[in-house]
Structure 1
Amino acid sequence: MSEEAAAPEERKRVWKTPANVTLCLESDLADPGSRGFVLQIGDAFFHGFVVKKDGEVAGWVDRCPHAGFPIAVEFDRYLSRDGELILCGWHGAVFEPISGKCVGGPCAGGKLTPWPVQVVDGFVKTA
């Protein structure tokens, strides 16, 4: 008689980060480009991503407003092939990279949750 393996414990999530955490060099981001980040805050984890488009940088919580799934199916793959829009790989919702507004798909009219970031002396940091 074999024992069933225990289900893995779900990791605690947080939805905000402290200010002034250095994420990467701005030059590490292509334009257009994106990069995902997982930050451990205490015993919980924050999942977010930043995008760069036309020289502007924006940060977003990595959670689709449609079903709550992460945006990218593959880490760091947040943008459409042409780099024009953020693409939810699960259900096809598309978002403007800088405003976060959903412009198509199942959550049209919705918006991504902002993650405050800023560029300081060439570094992308939490704000």
Structure 2
Amino acid sequence: MTAESRKLCTLEELPEGGCRGFSVPTSSGHEDIFLVHKNARIVAYRNSCPHTGVPLDWVPDQFLNLDGDLIQCSTHHALFRIEDGFCVSGPCAGQSLTPCPLRIDNGGVFLVLR
């Protein structure tokens, strides 16, 4: 049996270096997540800081620091590696963002629901 999934966007809608937030309907409500497309790889994380639970984007769809090489929390500026969500600086240093499973299929980016 295949896991249910929800289409988030197309690959064209998420260019290299881009990021985008989504509120995805699930059987238990909504899950707020975001995607980052960096180094030809797309990753997804829950839009929730491990320190306080606040959303990470400082304006809609802005999840990266000014250099575009780290995810930055809007509230207390904690910095997370894009590739694995590990916090390298800030009050939650050593903790990690919660990854979300993705599936890329036929030019679409899908969230795999648990």
Partner of 1:55: 40
Partner of 1:79: 64
Q: 1:62-95: CA deviations, max 9, x gaps? A: 0000111111121100011221010001011011
CA contact (8 A) 1:51 1:98 kept: no
Normalized against structure 2, the TM-score is what?
A: 0.89
For structure 1, the 5+ residue unaligned runs are 1-17
Runs of 4+ in structure 1 off by over 6 angstroms are none
Task: Give me the whole-angstrom Cα distance separating, in 2, the residues matched to 1:69 and 1:112.
Answer: 12
Task: Give me the whole-angstrom Cα distance separating, in 2, the residues matched to 1:43 and 1:98.
Answer: 28
Percent identical among aligned pairs is: 35
Which has more radius of gyration? 1
Q: 1:76-125: CA deviations, max 9, x gaps? A: 00011221010001011011112111111111111000111121121110
1:68 aligns with 2:56: no
Q: Secondary structure at the match of 2:12?
A: helix
Task: Give me the whole-angstrom Cα distance separating, in 2, the residues matched to 1:31 and 1:121.
Answer: 18
Normalized against structure 1, the TM-score is what?
A: 0.80
1:110 aligns with 2:70: no
Higher strand content, 1 or 2: 2
- RMSD, matched Cα: 1.4
Q: 1:13-66: CA deviations, max 9, x gaps? A: xxxxx7321110112112211100012235722111011110000110000001
